[in-house]
Structure 1
Amino acid sequence: MTDASSAPARTGWAVAALSLGTLLNPLNSSMIAVALVPLQRDFQVSVTTVTWVITSFYLASAAGQPLMGRFADRFGPRRLFLFGMLVVVLACALTPFSGSFAAVCAGRVALAIGTATAFPSAIAMLRTIAAHSSAGTPRLLGRIQIANTSGAAVGPVLGGALVTFLGWQAIFWVNVPLAVLAFVGVRFFAPRDAARERVPLRRVVAESDVPGILLFIATLTALLIFLLDLRPEPLWWLLPVVPIAGALFVWRELRTSHPFLDLRLLGANHRLLMVYLCFAVFNTVYYSAFFGLPQYLQEHSGYSAGVTGLLMFPLAAVTIAVTPLAARAIEGVGLRPTLLAGASALIVGAVLLGVAAATTAPWVVLLITAALGVPYCVVSIGMNQALYSAARPQDAGVAAGIFQTSRYVGAIVATTVLGLLFSTGTTPASWLAAVGVASALAVVHLCLLVFVRRRTQPGGAPGSAAEAAPS
């Protein structure tokens, strides 16, 4: 058996392991949705407080993804991926034994940091893996996209079963074997990183832009605390902190030679910037449904976590079934028409959510979640392809990290809105208000794709993925 003949098998195992690691972050971003009510009851916290188990994960992911992308480019994506899987194993083995809600949030932060290594590392490794095999980079990218897209969709179903039979602790334990499998697969089948300059720890810290990271987190955290504490008495002193911290963050990122978020890169690549903006708006809509619907079904309609997970199953099934078709549609009709179709389906899905205010009969919820699966997979895989087309190869890790940050900014906005609207009770009226916000943002998302035209990107072939991406 020659090395050449074994290359396809090694490539397949390597991509499978990378896909498994990539799946962990979106899986844990959604699996927690059906555990909110049990966590609220076990730790005796309010609806607003329990959302911090989600928000803490997203804050850490939003800050961690670009940083991990830079680390992947600097230290080697394979090395970083393996480190991240070890962090996941430790965090998920220990967090279930937490005795306080704050400790659970701390475990979620560690989990976010560990899983944040996977997607940037996988994107950065793709070209090297493709060079060692006969498979093209777009095909390998498609496999990772499917895992990244399907992970969030499967979350409520898996989470519901785990919470029902084993308790909320199981949504941490399930990550341990998955992370171990991903570690072993990449350790033995992924190509080794190219030799890199040995960098002293002091220089690593200096070039990690710690002030920028802290200002970024301070801006988001101050805004979230202010919004989530509007009732009963707003913390008015936090209001000026948001623009001040935000302005200092922008000033810092424009002045430093190693920015946490490369604002110059975004300013010079308008197409990439629009990919991030569209993806953030899309995820605000989607996570409003993803977190809002399970909470509404459990608190208003009295469904258990397990039944709620089953009612969300069509979303996962449709996502897994339609994602390959969406990938073929991009190849056949082009990226832009596929994204426009997905954005239109997103509006339909958002509006259909309003039916749950009148009835949450199982067959109605099943139809709603099935309808949501179509725009989720179509837009997600389309935006992944747009990212890959718009980013320069040398910026692959950082660009992928910022892309994930835009996902979590959208998710943070969604959880904040839900926390505000549900603070006085999860009722049909508050649900309709959430649906109204989601529907309006779905229209905004479509308008961004329709009215923001291609420009300043010469040299692309008409209809190519590069030119069809939002610009």
Structure 2
Amino acid sequence: MTRVAAVFRVGRRSDSGGFDRRLIVPMILGSILNPINSSMLAVALVPIGRWFHASPAQTAWLVTGLYLATAVGQPVIGRLVDTFGPRPLYLTGTALVGVAGLLGVLAPTLGVLIVSRVLLGIGTSAAYPASMFLLRAEADRTGMRSPSGILAALSISNQVIVVIGPTLGGLLIGAGGWHLIFAVNVPLSAACLVLGARRLPRGSSAARRGGGLDVLGMALFAGTLTAFMTFLMNPAWDLWWLLVVVVIAGTCFAVRELRTAQPFLDLRVLGGNPPLLATYGRQWLAFTTSYAFMYGFPQWLQDSRSLGPSAAGLLLLPMSATAIAVTALTGRRPEVRGKLAVGAAAQIAACVALLTAGSGSPIWLLALTGAFVGVSQGLNGLANQNALYAQADPARMGSSAGLLRTFGYLGALSASASNATFYRDGATTTGLHELSLLLLGVSALLLVGTLVDRSLRRVGRT
């Protein structure tokens, strides 16, 4: 019996033969806490800025604070899940979400509100690694080859929340002001705590057999990633010293992890797992194109295509609907190579369509472009998640899953930096075409990386 299976069996009913479906609701509810807090804020930045008399540059830290905290927190908390089991981290993380929500409601200054967003990022980092740990443990317990249907359910639920998040945020702001988008975390947190306490297995004592925590390694990792992501958010020559910090902290981190007996990230094991490293790279590439389109395309629609905010938002619906439909249709198939190849090809098609876009482009063509992006979103995200499930060391499933999310956020920040670079004079058609050329190269690299990776042929097959 693997250590993960041993952890999971503690406190469980021995007569349960199939997948314990009581776990599905707390897993999904916990995993949507991050996307709902990310997406609702999109419509709240302006009213928050007016409330605190803050500039857009200042309120932008509400977005970047959550990204930074989540990107660093996912693998760190994932390692804690591997060490102590999913239950204590899930309950602690979701409780912190409630506290952060209350702090946001009562925040007297923008600085306190930013702190609440950072706490939200940390708190929402627990549920996804815990869910992936639980899935692996259930597979070991029941002999399931791949819980592809449940993986698809996690992916679809997150995509649905991203779609309805801005609408929900707008309704809450209209009903009671921007404070409500923070207040909603309190009942969500309470629901997670009740369900988690009643349904998640007790296994912390068995999980501690893995050894002590590499606190210094975690701190060096956090410092390296924070410096790197801060530079990505605003790449400029006067911030060169951040790259020096990245090199120094990263070197110290590598030396530490190679010398300690119980490393936070086992670089030898990770380095000896090229398929998993390739999955992380594909996640970065796929999310760079996805986020660059999601943030850059609506700006161009408003500034150069002369559409209003509502019309621009409606033109993103084909992307969202297609992503959800594709995930639902293909989610139960565990194979990933075909999904990644088609997803990369769809991104290439979208980039080519963007190169032809102009101020007179017909609406149907712009909607079709969004649909191509939706196909890639639905396929790439799910396929990378399935690939990680098959490739990661079961004993480190939590930290491995957290790293997958981290590379997705690196893609989001790379996209943000790209949009800022090509839209420095506004969201012009020329800027859109230059951005599309970059994304075309990124998408082509994603396709090549998928086709040459022979290990993908084995994922999802007996």
Normalised TM-score (structure 2): 0.83
C-alpha deviation, 1:174, in angstroms: 3.3
Distance in 1 (CA, whole Å) between partners of 2:284 and 2:452 is 17
- Is residue 377 of structure 2 the alignment partner of residue 369 of structure 1? no
Give me the whole-angstrom Cα distance separating, in 2, the residues matched to 1:354 and 1:158.
33
Distance in 1, matches of 2:355 and 2:107, equals 38
CA change 1:204–1:111 in 2 (3 A) is: farther
Q: Quote the Cα distance in structure 1 between the aligned partners of 2:112 and 2:366.
A: 34
Distance 2:262 2:302 in 1: 46
Alpha carbons 1:78, 1:186 under 8 Å: kept: yes
2:160, 2:324 within 8 Å by CA — same for their partners in 1? yes
- Alignment equivalent of 1:58, drawn from 67, 70, 95: 67
The answer to whether the 8 A contact 1:21-1:182 is kept is: yes
Contact 1:69 1:399 in 2 (8 A): yes
Runs of 5+ consecutive residues of structure 2 not aligned to the other structure: 1-12
Give 1:260 deviation, angstroms: 3.7
Find the aligned partners of 1:165 and 1:356 in 2 and give their Cα distance.
38
Looking at structure 2, the residues matched to 70 and 13 of structure 1 have their Cα atoms a distance apart, in angstroms, of 24
* Corresponding residue number in structure 2 for 1:245: 249
SS in 2 for 1:426: coil
SS across alignment from 1:425: coil
Contact 2:227–2:242 (8 Å) recurs in 1: no
Counterpart check, 1:106 vs 2:115: yes
Tell me the equivalent position of 1:173: 183
Q: How many residues of Structure 1 are paired with residues of Structure 2 in the alignment?
A: 448
Report the residue type matching 1:69 in the other structure: G
Match of 2:219? 211
Aligned equivalents of 1:301, 1:167: Cα separation in 2? 31
Mapping of 1:382-421 within 5 angstroms? 382-421=383-422
Find the aligned partners of 1:424 and 1:47 in 2 and give their Cα distance: 17
8 Å Cα contact 2:151-2:331 kept in structure 1: no
Counterpart residue identity of residue 145, structure 1: S
Query: Greater CA deviation, 301-310 or 372-381?
Result: 301-310
CA apart distance, 1:465:
1.6
Counterpart position of 2:93: 84
* Larger displacement relative to structure 2 (146-155 or 109-118): 146-155
Distance 1:448 1:127, change over 3 A: closer
- Alignment of 1:195 with 2:205, yes or no, is yes
Name the aligned partner's letter for residue 249 of structure 1.
F
Cα deviation, 1:39-71, whole Å, max 9, x if unaligned, reads 556556555554433222222111111111111
Distance 1:223 1:50 in 2: 18
Contact 1:65-1:116 within 8 A present in 2 as well: yes
CA displacement, residues 209-264 of structure 1 (integer Å, 9 cap, x when unaligned): 3432343244315523651x56xxx3455454443333333333333344443322
Partner of residue 255, structure 1:
259
Task: State how far apart, in whole Å, the 1-side matches of 2:126 and 2:432 are.
Answer: 35
Q: Is the 8 A contact 2:214 2:263 kept in 1?
A: no
Matched, 1:95 2:68: no
The whole-number CA distance in structure 2 between the counterparts of 1:160 and 1:364 is 28
Query: Shift in Å at residue 401 of structure 1?
Result: 1.2
CA 1:102–1:412 in structure 2 vs 1: closer, same or farther (change >3 Å)?
Answer: farther
1:464 counterpart (438, 447, 458): 458
**Separation in structure 1 between the aligned mates of residue 422 and residue 50 of structure 2, nearest angstrom:** 20
- Do the aligned residues in 2 keep the contact of 1:390 with 1:466 (CA within 8 Å)? no
Q: Which amino acid aligns with 1:66?
A: P
Counterpart CA distance in 1 for 2:77 and 2:182 is 22
SS in 2 for 1:123: helix
Does the CA contact (< 8 Å) of 1:18 and 1:118 recur in 2?
yes
Counterpart secondary structure, 1:209: helix
Deviation string 1:78-108 (CA, Å, 9 cap, x unpaired) is 2211111111111123214434443333222
Q: Secondary structure at the match of 2:83?
A: helix
- SS of 2:455 mapped into structure 1: coil
Question: What does the per-residue CA deviation read over 1:255-298, in whole Å, with 9 as the maximum and x for residues that have no partner?
Answer: 33444433222201111110101111111111112222344455
Q: What is the CA–CA distance in structure 2 between the aligned matches of 1:50 and 1:431, rounded to whole Å?
A: 25
Query: Is the aligned partner of 1:19 residue 2:28?
Result: yes
Q: Secondary structure at the match of 2:206?
A: coil
CA distances 1:368-392 after superposition (whole Å, capped 9, x unpaired): 3333221101111111111111112
For 1:26-425, list aligned pairs within 5 A.
26-39=35-48, 49-129=58-138, 137-138=146-147, 139-162=149-172, 167-193=177-203, 195-196=205-206, 207=215, 209-221=217-229, 223-224=231-232, 227=235, 229=236, 234-297=238-301, 308-328=312-332, 330-331=333-334, 334-354=335-355, 357-358=358-359, 365-425=366-426
Residue identity opposite 1:140 in structure 2: I
Shift of 1:307: 5.4
CA contact (8 A) 1:92 1:111 kept: yes
Cα displacement (A) at 1:451: 2.8
TM-score, scaled to structure 1 = 0.81
276-285 or 362-371, which deviates more: 362-371
What is the letter of the counterpart of residue 180 of structure 1? A
Check conservation: 2:346, 2:375, Cα contact below 8 A. Answer: yes
Q: Which residue of 2 aligns with 1:437?
A: 438
Structure 2 match to 1:454: 455
Shift of 1:135: 7.6
Q: Relative to structure 1, is the Cα distance of residues 215 and 141 closer, same or farther in structure 2, using a 3 angstrom cutoff? A: same
Q: Is the 8 A contact 1:23 1:147 kept in 2?
A: yes
Paired AA for residue 464 in structure 1: R
**CA–CA distance in structure 1, aligned partners of residues 291 and 452 of structure 2:** 24
CA distance in 2, matches of 1:380, 1:320: 11
Q: 2:344 corresponds to which letter in structure 1?
A: A
